[in-house]
Amino acid sequence: MMVHNLISTILITGENIGVTVSLAVIFGGLAWLMYRSIKGREVDRRVIFLFIFVAVATPIIFTITFEFKATPIVRALYDKIESLPENSTVLLSYDFDPAMAPEVQPMANALTRHCLAKGHKIVYMCLFATGQGQLERTFREVIRPEFADKVDGIDYVNLGYKAGNEGVLNVIITDFQKMFPTDVNTVPYDSIPIFNNIKSCKDLDFIVSIGGGRPGIKEWILFVGDPGDIPIAAGVAAVVAPQLYPYYPNQLLGLLGGVKGAAEYENTLKDNYPRFENSDTPAIKMMGPQTLAHIVIMLFIIIGNILYFREKRLGKHK
């Protein structure tokens, strides 16, 4: 039964024959490498690269996807946005560069979809110079095609990038205008309707920092969240997520960690908002390659340990 579930999950979508053949090649090859390792043969680095390539490429070519539930830490962020009353103001800070984008851009896009669908207003800004380019991506992929009725300055505003790292945060916690006298299109702060009742970060209802580097979520917590008692959540690359657990759940309301966190958020959004049924879900698509790559890595670790114990045993015999 379990095996049946396992196989049927792999084959939820996709071209069955292609998937079966590809998986047979991957796992058959790994079984053969395992047999070789028992005989004491090392695996060449290029063979490992080849297996990882096939493991990543197969789910992309045959669109293997998985179903999963949101973990409590992801659900907490989703529920917070759900629980905010309509017309709340949410700040999304794009603190990342293109290298980190495959993991965190899907989070940024999903959060934008969620906030705008709920009728919240969004203030965009970035602490990374490259964040502004990533912001444009959200405008191109989400806002313009899916929320054409939303108006710049009323439903959302783009403040862009400002140099100064935590120095920027230190100022906007008391006065936004001092640091951002205009938005990215040089519209003066005073004439942007979204800022009618907003003087500083303390007037915001919720802040989400998306990124994983420095400056990033830690700076947001230390310089804005804690001193201003403002609810904060984050979406970060998988390698950074473990470092943020000490802040959860008191200083950090919720956390999306890596592709899995993004995929859980996209899944929850799709389940609860039928309008997003056909929206692009890059994180869900990426979970296929990530899952297979993880399994291949684990099997290579096992092969490495078989070799190690074999050598150790032979060493003892000598």
Partner 1 sequence: MKRFVPLTITFFVGTLLIFSVFIPPMETLGENFTLFFDIIAVFAFFLGGGNLIRVHFTKISRKKEDWPFSFVTIFGFLFMLAAGLFKIGNPGDIASSVTAPDSLFEMVYRAVFVPLGSTMYALLAFFVASASYRAFRAKNREATLLLIAAFIILLGSTPFGTMLTSWVPELMSVLQIPNLAVWIMSSPNLAGQRAILIGIGLGVVSISLRLILGLERTYLGDDGA
| Contacts to partner 1 from residues 35-64, by CB under 8 A | 43, 45, 48-49, 51-53, 56
Q: At what angle do helices 16-38 and 45-62 cross, to 10 degrees?
A: 160
Q: Which is nearer to partner 1, 66 or 273 (CB)?
A: 66
- Closest approach of Cβ 279 to partner 1, in Å? 20
Q: How many residues belong to the chain?
A: 318
Nearest CA among 26, 106, 4, 87 for reference residue 299: 26
Distance CA(46)–CA(175), nearest Å, equals 55
Q: Which is nearer to partner 1, 82 or 311 (CB)?
A: 311
> Residue 146 in contact with residue 113, Cβ under 8 Å?
yes
- Closest approach of Cβ 211 to partner 1, in Å? 14
Q: Which of 9, 88, 251, 279 binds partner 1 (CB under 8 A)?
A: 9
- Of the listed pieces 21-29, 108-116, 188-196, 242-250, which binds partner 1 according to CB under 8 A? 242-250
Q: Which of 27, 202, 304, 310 binds partner 1 (CB under 8 A)?
A: 304
Q: Which of 215, 258, 265, 284 binds partner 1 (CB under 8 A)?
A: 258
- Closest approach of Cβ 152 to partner 1, in Å? 11
**DSSP H or E run through 261:** helix 258-272
CA atoms within 13 Å, Cβ hemisphere of 57? 10
| Contacts to partner 1 from residues 190-229, by CB under 8 A | none
- Closest approach of Cβ 289 to partner 1, in Å? 9
DSSP symbols for 209-246 = EEESSSSSHHHHIIIIIHHHT--EEEEE-TTTHHHHGG
- Of the listed pieces 67-75, 82-90, 204-212, 265-273, which binds partner 1 according to CB under 8 A? 67-75
Distance CA(82)–CA(88), nearest Å, equals 11
Q: Which is nearer to partner 1, 23 or 84 (CB)?
A: 23
Order across the sheet with 121-126: list the strands.
Answer: 156-161, 121-126, 89-95, 206-211, 232-236, 255-257
| Contacts to partner 1 from residues 99-158, by CB under 8 A | 99-102, 130, 132-133, 135-137, 139-140, 158
